[in-house]
Structure 1
Amino acid sequence: MSEQQTIYDTKNIAELFQIHASTVRKYCDFLEKEGYQFHKNEYGHRGFFDDDVIVLRKLIDFKGTMALEKATKSVIAWKNGDDVSGVAIGKKQYSTEYSNLLDEFKTFQKQQHAFNQELLEQLKKQQGYIDTRLEERDQNLMIAMSQSLETQKQLAATKQKKWWKFWKQ
């Protein structure tokens, strides 16, 4: 082989699948009874390559829908490329689960789109309100500035008049 492959031990596989090491050994025994071969060292300890991990994952998945013996036979048939009713059932189950997930996602997507549209409308209303209020503020500010300027002009005019001519227009 030109590529280095990682070899996992039983403990690593147990941690990966969150099962006990004894369960991994049990699954391996069932697979070996059906003819599957795992790598073993001189002490008889199993070493698991990536392909073995995939086979064990399939076994765990199939075991959720059928008995362990039938699941083991289905995995071996899957590995050999054969079509077994258990594999077909597994594919059908995954297809159904996939369809259900896809339907859920489409529903969620529609809800999210509607929610986003509602948010956009609210943002447009809010922006319109802000623009209106800014325009009103600017107009009020201009009026206040005009009045202030007029008052300053009147004060300047009164300062130029003598105090006794204040009452004259």
Structure 2
Amino acid sequence: MTSDISATQIVYGSGEVATLLNIKESTLRKYSGQLEKAGYKFHKNEKGHRGYFDRDVIALRKLIEIKSHPDMTLEQACNAVVSTIGDSVVSVSDTADIAPIERHNDRHTKEEFDELKQLVIQQTELIKEFSKKLDQQQQYFEERIKQDQKDRELMESLRESLRETKQQQLQIAAANQEEQRKKGFFSRLFGK
């Protein structure tokens, strides 16, 4: 942002931004501090508390997106965000002229925030439902795998039982043949 900032811009508190980004306030402070180390400037009031404009929320969202890549460190992600934003970084002197904005009196902003909050809640519920369905599918597949394993074991047991039965039948048949052969030999020997 440059010195042509209009007085109608909205300053968000850290709690609101953390909710919008679905992160903890401590994580927001950490990310903001790292961005400042990389050269990014946030609006600060006379007590040194950060105020976040829409562009800051966008920068933080971009940081989270870039940081999610597996080979990207937080420091590298911050440097990437600062380099992409470039000239739009606000200096402390740029923010000195901004009149304090009463968020609580701005009904339109509160409605937008409430809508976003409601959307986040709905998305969270959808994610929970999706997660529950995935868990159910996982459980079904695990049960199916166990059942398939039991079926394989049963089939193997039946095959083994059939092999043993066949082996016994062959042994009995061989014994009968041997007996017939022996009987035939004796009857030939004594029968004459």
Q: Larger relative CO (CA 8 A, sep 6+): 1 or 2?
A: 2
| TM-score, normalised via structure 2 length | 0.41
Give the TM-score of the pair, scaled to structure 1. 0.46
